[in-house]
Amino acid sequence: MPFNFIAIARDVSIVFGLVLASSFAAAQIVQGMGEEVTPIVIGLSNIFWGTVGFTISGCLARVQRFKHLFIVAIGLWLVSFVNVAAGLTPLPVWAVGFLLILVMMGLGGGLSYLFVPTPQAEPSASDGHTNPLTEESGPKS
């Protein structure tokens, strides 16, 4: 499978953007309620919206879906290193975080099949099968 770097960058951006925006929104909502923002709140938000992002990515990919999603997962994990550089995430947590990204990828990829099934290949004329929608009716002259 040749890599479509534009599609990969698009999908990494979709998932990263959803996770980033949801983390910010979750923190604002929890703080607005007068509660303390805990890693569990941010984590649950990230899991939910990361899964939504991978679902969108899977719907856009259609063919070789899980190969594409796996590459997107690697890209997301590498881009998320910005959290380590900013001091928001310890390095060991970031390293193990790839497992969580794989869970989101699996859930989102599976859900994407509910919205966009895998396209079926059309049988060719040389394989002996005929397409009933294109057959002419009546005797041939």
**pLDDT at 14 > cutoff 90:** yes
Can you tell me the distance from the alpha carbon of 80 to that of 82, in angstroms, rounded to the nearest whole number?
5
**pTM for the predicted model, two decimal places:** 0.80
pLDDT band at 117 (very low <50, low <70, confident <90, very high): confident
DSSP 3: -
Query: Pick the residue with more confidence: 4 or 57?
Result: 57
Q: How far is CA 126 from CA 105, 119, 122, 131, 136, in A?
A: 38, 20, 12, 12, 18
In this predicted structure, the answer to whether residue 139 has a pLDDT above a threshold of 70 is no
Cα-Cα-Cα-Cα dihedral sign, residues 9, 13, 15, 19: positive
What are the tens digits of pLDDT across the range 61-108? 978 999 999 999 999 999 999 999 999 889 999 999 999 999 999 999
